[in-house]
Structure 1
Amino acid sequence: MRGPHPEISGDAWADAQLLWDYHQLHHKIQSCSVIIGLGSHDLGVATQAAQLYLEGWAPLIVFSGANSPTTMERFPRGEAVHYREHAVSLGVPDSAILLETHATNTAENFEFSRGVLQAASVPIISVLLVSKPYEQRRSLATVMKIWPEVDVVCASERPSLAEYIDSIGSAKRVVDMLVGTLQRLIEYPKKGFIVDQEIPAEAIAAYERLRDSGFDSRVIRPAKPGR
């Protein structure tokens, strides 16, 4: 039986939906010191950050991100730069945006954004953290490790899994990212990169089934031993 998308079987779709739901935190939006938008291939992060600013949830936005191999073509001037341009086009004053243009991973997003805010003498008590929908939990686990003294509220756009796949244009790519993100929640605490998250057994089982059935382009492979 096929799932809602022709690339995915019904069973795989159910597993993907389980991971999609697990990765999101459904925090209640609250007023915060700053909005931090995490750079990625998804311009929806900038859209959501702009909307939250325009609704008055924070007086300032930091967009953070250089480039990754998946964003070089789409955002040739860097993720944060393109995010700012998009937010300004939606009505956010340029003066309300700070840029962090060097981060190439999530830990650096927070380390370097904190540095930008300190350099601007902006006191930070709380962060309204905007990410891709399926990166909420990992982003929270990372900021709790890197910047534990701040209170964090996580936010993202709220498409369904099917809607998000339509926006990206590839069901396999999205499911691969769900699988890769879950693997990082399992492995990264062991490396000291993030704090532990409680992962239900059914989420781990869904991850393993999807990984073993070929949704694995974002899976971190063990390093090959040197010769």
Structure 2
Amino acid sequence: MSGTVLPDVYRADVEILWDYHDLHHAIRRTDVGIGLGSHDLGVATFAAELYQKGMFPRIVFTGANAPTTIERFPRGEAVHYRDHAVALGVPAAAILVEPEATNTGQNIEFTRRLLADRGIAVRSATLISRPYQQRRAYSTAEKLWPELEIVCVSRPLPLDEYIASIGDVKRVIDMLVGDTQRVMVYPGRGFATPQDMPAEVEAAYRRLVEAGFTTRLVP
């Protein structure tokens, strides 16, 4: 499969997973915005928009590289996110960069450490992630930083527009399936808090796995 058009045969199941991962948190003012690194530059775009609306006084961009991002962001995800946000008008002084994290748990842990090392006390944070990463990001932060009040949001694009922005429908489905699996298995590994999963969500996930969308599954 290639291109940016979601085939009708998969649409219903993809939409079920897409809706499941959207937590529908209301955006409100918090102490810091945390942009989670990935291949999706829209995370930095939305972080900049929220900063400019006064939703938080500073941003931490966190992320080194993954195999899926090294070519696009050779200096690291967080560094490229910062440069993008600055180009959109965010003052460089309002941005901190955490350039070492290689997974979501490290995004949270290393950001917490960076803020503590800078003497910046935070009681609340807005996590900005890819749309299908919201539930996993929230459950990871809830596990690793339980006293933090968390708002978890993503750039508000409809599914088809998001696929077009990424430019690869198979990548989006693979990542969506992979994140769903992580929500299922990571609590048992101590990485995240348990999340309710309706039967229809698990069934949609199973069908997409059977259809071959497996490149982002963990052992």
Band the TM-score falls in, shorter-chain normalisation: over 0.9
Aligned partner of residue 57 in structure 1, secondary structure: coil
1:62-101 equivalence runs, <5 A: 62-101=60-99
Q: Is the 8 A contact 1:29 1:155 kept in 2?
A: yes
- Measured against aligned partners, the alpha-carbon deviations of 1:55-75 in whole angstroms (never above 9, x if no partner) come to 001101000000111110100
Choose which of 22, 25, 28 in structure 2 pairs with 1:27: 25
Distance 2:32 2:186 in 1: 26
Aligned partner of residue 63 in structure 1, secondary structure: strand
Paired position in structure 2 for 1:128? 126
After TM superposition, which residue ranges in structure 1, 4 or more long, deviate above 2 angstroms? 5-11
Aligned partner of residue 30 in structure 1, secondary structure: coil
Q: Which sections of structure 2, spanning at least 5 residues, go unmatched?
A: none
Distance 2:112 2:4 in 1: 43
Q: Which sections of structure 1, spanning at least 5 residues, go unmatched?
A: 222-227
The count of residues paired between Structure 1 and Structure 2 equals: 217
Distance 1:42 1:100 in 2: 17
TM-score normalised according to structure 1 size = 0.93
Q: Is the 8 A contact 2:35 2:60 kept in 1?
A: yes
Amino acid at match of 1:219: L
Distance 1:36 1:209 in 2: 33
Instruction: Quote how far apart the aligned CAs of 1:11 are.
Output: 3.6
Instruction: Assess, with a 3 A threshold, how the Cα gap between structure 1 residues 55 and 209 changes in structure 2: closer, same or farther.
Output: same
Distance 2:6 2:29 in 1: 39
Choose which of 106, 111, 123 in structure 1 pairs with 2:104: 106
Distance 1:105 1:195 in 2: 16
Q: Is the 8 A contact 1:39 1:80 kept in 2?
A: yes
CA RMSD of aligned residues (A): 1.2
TM-score normalised according to structure 2 size = 0.96
Instruction: Assess, with a 3 A threshold, how the Cα gap between structure 1 residues 32 and 6 changes in structure 2: closer, same or farther.
Output: closer
1:2-81 equivalence runs, <5 A: 8-81=6-79
Over the matched positions of the two proteins, sequence identity in percent amounts to 55
Instruction: Quote how far apart the aligned CAs of 1:164 are.
Output: 1.0
Distance 1:7 1:128 in 2: 31
Q: Is the 8 A contact 1:7 1:172 kept in 2?
A: no
Aligned partner of residue 42 in structure 1, secondary structure: coil
- Measured against aligned partners, the alpha-carbon deviations of 1:22-56 in whole angstroms (never above 9, x if no partner) come to 11111111110100000000000000001100100
Paired position in structure 1 for 2:176? 178
Q: Specify the structure having the higher radius of gyration (Cα).
A: 1
Q: Is the 8 A contact 2:64 2:76 kept in 1?
A: yes
Distance 2:23 2:169 in 1: 22
Instruction: Quote how far apart the aligned CAs of 1:8 are.
Output: 4.9
Aligned partner of residue 151 in structure 2, secondary structure: strand
Distance 1:65 1:6 in 2: 26
Paired position in structure 2 for 1:148? 146
Distance 2:44 2:78 in 1: 9
